[in-house]
Amino acid sequence: MVNSYQTSFPMTSSQALKKYGEPSPSFSIYLKYLKMKLHEIINLYYELNGVTKQTKEGDEVISLGILKQKMSLKNKVYLQRLNKVVSEEVKLYEDAKKELFEKYTEKDGENTIIPSEKIEPFNQEHLDLLTAEKDINVSTLWGSDLTLEALESIETDEFYPQLFELIDSKK
């Protein structure tokens, strides 16, 4: 004898709609993916973590990054989750960029150069890399309460256009 619950699964999506009806708009399991180009992800990484410039006198801070700003702990956790995903993509980019340089550079005495006949193919491959797309599942990174309005309380002179666009487009 077979239990009735065993015969009812797996259920197709059309069967589930018939049985349970349409999900409510607030149903939180819906996954929302945002497509971003790698160069946008790199910009987002620097908006989150800041930018420093190395000088002879030491490091000069160009931008602190939003993660170093004072904000609610909940928003900070949401942004740290995003930073984890973004950091992994930037690491992959750095590894690919290193391979690209190894492919096109040559030693010229103590210097490493890209010969003039290889500059165009190098630039094309680098551009292809920077325009590669990635789907980021924002539904697992933050709740619906991370909005531009929720970030208004952050007092900063810095601007985070890539982050604001990402948050605004998740609606």
Kindly write down the DSSP assignment for every residue of 82-139, as one continuous string. HHHHHHHHHHHHHHHHHHHHHHH-EEETTEEE--HHHHHHHHHHHHHHHT-EEEEEGG
118 Cβ neighbours under 8 A, 6+ residues apart: 104
pLDDT attached to residue 122: 94
Own/partner pairs, 8-13, CB within 8 angstroms, 24+ separation? none
Q: What is the DSSP letter of 153?
A: T
Q: Indicate the domain borders of the chain.
A: 30-169
CA 156 to chain centre: 22
86, 37 contact by CB (below 8 A) = no
pTM of the predicted protein model: 0.74
Task: From first to last of the 171 residues of the chain, give the pLDDT tens digit.
Answer: 333 333 333 334 444 445 444 443 433 334 467 888 999 999 999 999 999 999 999 999 999 999 999 988 888 888 999 999 999 999 999 999 999 999 999 988 889 999 999 999 999 999 999 999 988 877 777 777 788 888 888 888 888 898 888 887 765
pLDDT attached to residue 139: 72
